[in-house]
A and B are shown apart, each in its own frame.
Chain A
Amino acid sequence: MRVLKCHKGIGPKVSGMVLSANDNFSARYDLDRINGIFSRPNHKLFGKSYVDIILVLNESKGGVASAWMLYEMIARKMAPKAILFNKANTILAQGASLASLSICDRFEDGDITSLIVSGQNVVVDPPNGNVTILSK
């Protein structure tokens, strides 16, 4: 078990399995939100489901639409459980706030996409600013 410190985040404490990639994220640019998969062909998570997953990605990118989209995805229960970034942009933080989606960024130990790998189980604790890796 390892605890990674980060900036205090947004949203509730959640736990789940990770899907991690050193790539960026936009709900509009990268997702097929109807089917709950990454749909951008050159995205490193292309074809993978993000539903009920804890996504670990580099930065948020692209346009403002993601803010509304996170809320809409949560309402249809077709959303990730949480998103961890090296750095979030304003849009993802604003959208996470409306949607009560858990989000954290600015990790003290470095690149979060290399610290947490796909398949690991983690606990994301935004109010306390930490993420606990439960499995190797």
Chain B
Amino acid sequence: MNLSQEEKAMSKGELGEAAKWAINHQIEVGNFFDAEDFVSVSNVHMMVDPESIGIAGVKFFENLVKMNAKVRVPMITDPRGVDLDYYRPLGQTEEMADIERRTIKACSSMGILMTNTCVNYQTIMAPLYGEHLAYGDTGVVIYSNSVCGARSNFEGGPSALAAGLTGRTPRYGLHLDEKRKPTKIFTIKHEPNELTDWGLIGALIGKMCGSYWEVPFIEGINKIPTSDEIKHFGAAMASYGSTPLFHIKGITPEADNFNSNDLNDLNHYDIKSTDINSLKAEFGKKGDKIDVVVFAAPQLSIFEMQKVAELCNDKIFKVPVLVCTSPQVYSDALRMNLIKQIENSGAKVLQGTCFYNQFAREIGIANGWVRLLSNSTKIVNILGGYGYKPVLANMEKCILSAVEGKLL
């Protein structure tokens, strides 16, 4: 890679040991992907939940703190794995909470802002067109790239941390024009009309792409989606396909950049109602006993919170219902009485966490949860590997099923 004088100085350790680790990590990754140089990033978003990092990861952070590590650009965090105000009732242990406490302490001392959200584009600051970023959380990246027209690769926690410490990232992948060009065309033959529909269509496109390096170009969506709809669409696509970018004709900002020369030779696929129903059928059937209902992945917006609150009105649940939202939305929802409305039904709202990174395997075993019902197409994909038999239904059906204890 071509390095600036400052980058060479970092690499030699002249700007501190923490910056030395960070830039040399980035150079190794940059060389792997044939990056020619670095690009400055305006801010960083890092995934760092305690299940993923474990004791080894916390020690790694604490070692960086001893090196006096400080981030050079604004840096925020993805959801936590432990809500420190509500973890024992979930079956989470003191050891899990301690990893969380130590992580928060180390991150805070480096100047990282503990925003604990995977919907920062709805709650903190939406990226701008062309803005170079280093973002973790696949849902955050695909939304920022596709809906906002910003530029970020999937930055795993270590690389996001490195970007925070250096203020830059290797220029490869989605920082380059040529990697943002469509590689497959999809025509949607089914008009989506609720969040789960959007998630299922995103999931199908992700499955058919099946690679980080594919870029779907999507036609046939005639209605402008809401931020929540396209959030579920992108999060599911990224989950099923590792897909970091999509273009929707007439909707997303880069779609008009591509003409017939770019599109004519690409393979073309239809997404039909039968495809959607077939995927949905993989996740439970009417009458299935339900152990727990989860609204999460991504964290709920204030609009989703309002809808859940309305649906919870006058309901009493037979099974636990968990609702995960960001601290920013939580404080608004508290002020607007939505938390009380939701929790009056017996549900619990968790702030700053997301269910699947809350030691999902361990809390499933601790509580005897196997059949997990959600309206998130993303979470039912993830939790299959965690010992769950996930069930998918729309938000209304999730709430009604929680009352009955079985899928309606």
A positions within 8 Å CB-CB of B? 7-10, 24, 26, 28-32, 34, 39-43, 59-69, 71-72, 74-76, 87-91, 93-95, 97-98
Contact = CB atoms under 8 A, between A and B. Distances in A.
Given A30-B385, A60-B242, A75 B212 contact: no
A29 B380 CA distance: 11
Interface of B: 25, 28-29, 31-33, 47-49, 51-57, 60, 136-138, 153-159, 173, 210-213, 238-239, 241-242, 357, 361, 381-382, 384-387
A65 B49 CA distance: 8
A29 B385 contact: yes
Contact of B242 (A39, A42, A59, A97): A59
A94 B155 contact: yes
A67 B29 CA distance: 12
Nearest to B46: A64
B155 A60 contact: no
20 contacts: A29-B382, A29-B384, A39-B386, A40-B384, A62-B242, A63-B47, A63-B138, A64-B155, A65-B49, A65-B156, A71-B53, A71-B60, A72-B54, A76-B56, A87-B212, A89-B154, A93-B29, A94-B155, A95-B156, A97-B29
A91 B154 contact: yes
A68 B361 contact: no
B158 A94 contact: yes
Given A29-B385, A87-B212, A66 B156 contact: yes
A90 B157 CA distance: 11
A90 B156 contact: yes
Q: Is the interface of A mostly helix, strand, loop or mixed?
A: mixed
Contacts of A97: 25, 28-29, 32, 158-159
Contact of B158 (A8, A67, A88): A67
A98 B385 contact: no
Contacts of B154: 64, 89-91
Contacts, number: 138
Contacts of B29: 10, 90, 93-94, 97
Q: Which 8 A-B pairs have the closest CB atoms?
A: A67-B156, A75-B56, A89-B212, A72-B54, A40-B385, A98-B158, A68-B52, A94-B159
A67 B157 contact: yes
Contact of B56 (A39, A71, A93): A71
Contacts of B238: 63
Contact of B241 (A61, A68, A95): A61
Given A8-B32, A93-B33, A28 B385 contact: yes
Contacts of A8: 31-32
B155 A59 contact: no
Scoring A7, A8, A64 by chain B CB atoms within 10 A of each residue's CB, the highest score goes to A64
Contact of A28 (B31, B54, B136, B382): B382
A59 B33 CA distance: 15
A61 B203 CA distance: 13
Given A7-B32, A41-B384, 5 more contacts: A29-B381, A68-B57, A90-B173, A91-B154, A91-B242
Contacts of A60: 212, 242
